[in-house]
């Protein structure tokens, strides 16, 4: 999942690093994530629960379940499964992501399976981020309610 462009620009402006990088320019310290995300709209709000991820590519599938902390206010939210959570790395390219949303009692609330593109990003610039960060995500929709 990537930060919105405006948010990246704001972070870059406030987080310069003293370490030099590429042509005497300083590197910023914007953190990236290797992983996949699932956006949950307000219409599928649960106070707490879990999100189960399954990510598949030509090399197989990997799964992870992530807890959702308790929220009182009805809002949209998201969840991220890092490649560490999933137990393997994924290369940039097309993957299939299945997301299941469970409430606090363990009841399935919604599920979706979508194709997504994993992209490699360099939030601090290619000179500063080495191999970059690989991420992507999908969105649950109200129609995914079971």
Helix H, strand E, coil C: the string for the chain is: CCCCHHHHHHHHHHCEEEEEECCCEEEECCCCCCEEEEEECHHHCCCCEEEEEEEEECCEEEEEEEEECCCCCCCCEEEEEEHHHHCCCCCCEEEEEEEEEEECCCCEEEEEEEEEEEEEECCCCHHHHCCCEEEEEEECCHHHEC
Residue 65 has pLDDT above 60, yes or no: yes
pTM equals 0.80
To the question of domain 32-144 being in CATH 2.60.40, the answer is yes
The pLDDT tens digits of the residues spanning 98-138 come to: 999 999 999 999 999 999 999 999 999 999 989 999 999 99
The pLDDT tens digits of the residues spanning 24-33 come to: 567 888 888 9
């Amino acid at each position: 999942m990537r930060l919105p462009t405006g948010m990246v620009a704001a972070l870059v402006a406030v987080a310069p690093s003293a370490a030099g990088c590429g042509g005497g320019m300083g590197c910023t310290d914007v953190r990236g994530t290797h992983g996949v995300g699932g956006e949950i709209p307000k219409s599928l709000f649960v106070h707490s629960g879990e999100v189960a991820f399954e990510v598949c590519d030509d090399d197989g599938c990997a799964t992870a379940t992530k807890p959702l902390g308790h929220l009182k206010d009805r809002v949209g939210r998201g969840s991220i499964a890092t490649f560490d959570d999933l137990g393997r790395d994924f290369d940039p390219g097309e993957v299939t992501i299945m997301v299941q949303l469970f409430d606090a009692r363990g009841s399935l609330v919604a599920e979706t399976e979508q194709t997504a593109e994993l992209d490699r990003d360099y939030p601090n610039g290619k000179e500063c981020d080495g191999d970059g960060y690989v991420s992507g995500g999908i969105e649950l929709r109200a129609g995914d309610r079971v």
